C-alpha cells in the first residue's frame, strides 16, 4: 500500500511506503524536510498532522510530549504514514534534492585529549556560515549517510566552524576522522544548519545547562555568543559539565575564565571516573539539584548522551519540579 502525502499550503506532494519514515519518503523523491537527529530525540522535525493517521514510531518523550501528541504533532524522522496525509511543516524551506549541502575544507584537526578531536572547517567558497548558537551541521558521507555535529564556536564567528568530536569505536565517520582518512586540507561536505536546541531563556529567569562529554559544544557556542554580543545583563547561567576524566575538560579553563570575569556565569566541572579528582564527582543532575533545589521557575538545557538526558529529566522533574515545557534537550545518542 502506498500513501500520498501533501504538504499543506504548498504544491508539494510525495508518496510514502508503510515501512519508510516520512522524512525518508520525502528525500527519496527530492524533497528535504527539516530534521537533525533522525532518531526521534531532538524535535527538529516536529510537525503537524493536519489529516490522516501516522504510526508515531520510536521517539523520546522529551522530544514529543503527551500534549504534542494530543495536538496531533509527530516527529517526521521516525513517524510513518498509515493513510494518506496532509502535514504542515513549520519553519521550512523545501528544496529539490540535488547534491546536498556545500563543500568545506578542514583547516585544523587536533587531538585535544585522548579520543577527542577539535575540528575546524572553512567554506570552500569563502562565504560566511550563518547559524544560531546551539545548532548542528551534518556531515554528508558516501551513500548520503549523515552524521550530526553541534557547532562549538559562537554564532558571531562566521568565517569558520569549530566542532568537538569524540571517537566512537568502529564508527564510520569518527574512524575516518581519527585516522589519516581525513587530513587537514581535505574537503568535507556539510549540510545545515539544523535543529532547534537554541537559547530561549528570557532575562530574569535562571538557566541551567547540564551536559556530558562533547555535549559541552553547543553550550559553549550559546554562552560565548551571549558574551560576545554583550547580552549577559540580567542573566543567571549555570553550567554543569560531566566527563569521565579531567583530561576531557578541554574547554574547562575557558569556562573558568568566563565565570571569573562575568558574575552571570557559573561553572561546575564534574568528573566521574578519577580517584584523584578534588572537585565535584558523580552526576550532573544530582549536583544541579543540590545547588538549586526548586526548579519550577528555571529553564534546563540538556545535551550529550541519551542516558544522561533521560535520567536528568526523570530526576529533576520529580525531585525539583522542573517543568516539561522548560526543558530543551539535544541527544547525541549512546
Ligand atoms: C543532534 C546531534 C548532535 C551531535 N553532536 C555531536 C558533537 O558535537 N560531537 C560528537 O562527538 N558527536 C555528536 N553527535 C554524535 C554524532 O552524530 C555521531 O553519532 C557520532 O560521531 C558517531 O558517528 P560514527 O559515524 O563514527 O559512528 P556510527 O557509524 O554512526 O556508529 C557506530 C556504532 O556506534 C554507536 N553510536 C553512534 N553514535 C554514538 C554515540 N554518540 N555514543 C555512543 N555510541 C554511538 C552506533 O549505534 C553504532 O552501533 C551528535 C548527534 C546528534 C544526533
pLDDT for the residue 317: 94
Least confident segment among 143-152, 214-223, 303-312: 143-152
> Can you give the C-alpha Rg of the chain in angstroms?
20
Residues 111, 218 within the same domain: no
Beta carbon of 329 within 6 Å of any ligand 1 atom: no
CATH classification of the domain holding 27: 3.10.20.30
pLDDT in tens, 155-167: 999 999 999 999 9
Residues 250, 143 within the same domain: no
Residues 244, 265 within the same domain: yes
Structure confidence at residue 90 as a pLDDT band (50, 70, 90): low
Beta carbon of 181 within 6 Å of any ligand 1 atom: no
Smallest CA separation from ligand 1 atom 15, residue: 332
Smallest CA separation from ligand 1 atom 30, residue: 171
Beta carbon of 283 within 6 Å of any ligand 1 atom: no
Task: Using the predicted structure, report yes or no on whether residue 217 has a pLDDT greater than 70.
Answer: yes
Residues 116, 50 within the same domain: no
pLDDT for the residue 166: 97
Q: What percent of the chain has pLDDT over 70?
A: 96
Smallest CA separation from ligand 1 atom 6, residue: 149
pLDDT for the residue 92: 56
Residues 40, 115 within the same domain: no
Residues 139, 38, 333: CA angle, nearest 5 degrees: 85
Residues 10, 81 within the same domain: yes
Smallest CA separation from ligand 1 atom 32, residue: 171
SS3 (DSSP) at 99: coil
Secondary structure of 287-312 in the HEC alphabet? HHHHHHCCCCCCEEEEEECHHHHHHH
Report the predicted TM-score, pTM, of the whole model to 2 decimal places: 0.82
Tell me the residue range of the domain where 240 lies. 206-331
Smallest CA separation from ligand 1 atom 14, residue: 332
Residues 303, 212 within the same domain: yes
Residues 326, 279 within the same domain: yes
Task: Using the predicted structure, report yes or no on whether residue 96 has a pLDDT greater than 50.
Answer: no
In a domain, 239, yes or no: yes
* Mean pLDDT score, 102-127: 94
Task: Using the predicted structure, report yes or no on whether residue 122 has a pLDDT greater than 60.
Answer: yes
In a domain, 201, yes or no: no
Alpha helices in the chain, H assignment, sequence order:
22-28, 66-70, 172-177, 216-228, 252-261, 284-292, 306-320
In a domain, 96, yes or no: no
CA-174 nearest atom, ligand 1: 26
Residues 70, 108 within the same domain: no
* Mean pLDDT score, 193-208: 93
pLDDT for the residue 275: 93
* Mean pLDDT score, 193-204: 91
Structure confidence at residue 97 as a pLDDT band (50, 70, 90): very low
Looking at per-residue pLDDT, the higher value among 29 and 132 belongs to: 132
d(CA 32, CA 318): 38
In a domain, 200, yes or no: no
* Mean pLDDT score, 247-273: 98
In a domain, 66, yes or no: yes
Q: Which helix (H) or strand (E) holds 150?
A: strand 145-150
Residues 62, 107 within the same domain: no
pLDDT for the residue 44: 80
Boundary (domain end) residue, out of 147, 165, 194: 194
Beta bridge partners of 281: 271
pLDDT for the residue 36: 75
Structure confidence at residue 91 as a pLDDT band (50, 70, 90): low
- Please report how many Cα atoms fall inside a 13 Å half-sphere around the Cα of residue 66, on the Cβ side: 1
Beta carbon of 199 within 6 Å of any ligand 1 atom: no
CATH classification of the domain holding 128: 2.40.30.10
Number of domains in the chain: 3
Residues 325, 229 within the same domain: yes
How many whole angstroms from its chain centre is CA 144? 20
Boundary (domain end) residue, out of 167, 194, 221: 194
pLDDT for the residue 33: 83
pLDDT for the residue 218: 98
Task: Using the predicted structure, report yes or no on whether residue 116 has a pLDDT greater than 90.
Answer: yes
CA-44 nearest atom, ligand 1: 1
Beta carbon of 113 within 6 Å of any ligand 1 atom: no
d(CA 246, CA 253): 11
CATH classification of the domain holding 323: 3.40.50.80
Residues 179, 108 within the same domain: yes
In a domain, 152, yes or no: yes
How far apart are the CA of 330 and the centre of ligand 1, in A? 12
Boundary (domain end) residue, out of 140, 169, 194: 194
* Mean pLDDT score, 248-275: 97
pLDDT for the residue 94: 57
pLDDT in tens, 30-82: 777 877 778 888 888 899 999 999 999 999 888 899 999 999 999 999 999 99
Beta carbon of 184 within 6 Å of any ligand 1 atom: no
Structure confidence at residue 100 as a pLDDT band (50, 70, 90): low
Amino acid at each position: 500500500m502506498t500513501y500520498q502525502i501533501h504538504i499543506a499550503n504548498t504544491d508539494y506532494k510525495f508518496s510514502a511506503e508503510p515501512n519508510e519514515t516520512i522524512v525518508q519518503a520525502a528525500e527519496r523523491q527530492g524533497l528535504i524536510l527539516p530534521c537533525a537527529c533522525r532518531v526521534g530525540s531532538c524535535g527538529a522535525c516536529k510537525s503537524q498532522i493536519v489529516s490522516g493517521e501516522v504510526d508515531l514510531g520510536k521517539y523520546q518523550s522529551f522530544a514529543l510530549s503527551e500534549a504534542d501528541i494530543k495536538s496531533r504533532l509527530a516527529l517526521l524522522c521516525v513517524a510513518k504514514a498509515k493513510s494518506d496525509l496532509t502535514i504542515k511543516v513549520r519553519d521550512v524551506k523545501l528544496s529539490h534534492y540535488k547534491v546536498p549541502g556545500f563543500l568545506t575544507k578542514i583547516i585544523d584537526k587536533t587531538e585535544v585529549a585522548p579520543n577527542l578531536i577539535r575540528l575546524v572547517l572553512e567554506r570552500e567558497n569563502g562565504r560566511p556560515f550563518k547559524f544560531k548558537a546551539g545548532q548542528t551541521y551534518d556531515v554528508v558521507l558516501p551513500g548520503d549517510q549523515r552524521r550530526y555535529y553541534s557547532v562549538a564556536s559562537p554564532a558571531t564567528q562566521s568565517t569558520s566552524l569549530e566542532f568537538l568530536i569524540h571517537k566512537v569505536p568502529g564508527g564510520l565517520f569518527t574512524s575516518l576522522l581519527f585516522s589519516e582518512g581525513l587530513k587537514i586540507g581535505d574537503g568535507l561536505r556539510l549540510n545545515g544548519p539544523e535543529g532547534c536546541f537554541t537559547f530561549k531563556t528570557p532575562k530574569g529567569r535562571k538557566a541551567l545547562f547540564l551536559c556530558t562529554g562533547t555535549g559541552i559544544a553547543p553550550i559553549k557556542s550559546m554562552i560565548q555568543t551571549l558574551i560576545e554580543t554583550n547580552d549577559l545583563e540580567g542573566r543567571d547561567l549555570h553550567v554543569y559539565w560531566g566527563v569521565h576524566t579531567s583530561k576531557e575538560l578541554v574547554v574547562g579553563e575557558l569556562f573558568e575564565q568566563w565565570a571569573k570575569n562575568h558574575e552571570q556565569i557559573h561553572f561546575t566541572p564534574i568528573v566521574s571516573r578519577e580517584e584523584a579528582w578534588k572537585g565535584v564527582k558523580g552526576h550532573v543532575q544530582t549536583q544541579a539539584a543540590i545547588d538549586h533545589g526548586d526548579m519550577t521557575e528555571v529553564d534546563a538545557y540538556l545535551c550529550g548522551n541519551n542516558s544522561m538526558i533521560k535520567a536528568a529529566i526523570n530526576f529533576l522533574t520529580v525531585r525539583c519540579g522542573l517543568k516539561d515545557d522548560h526543558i530543551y534537550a539535544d541527544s547525541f545518542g549512546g
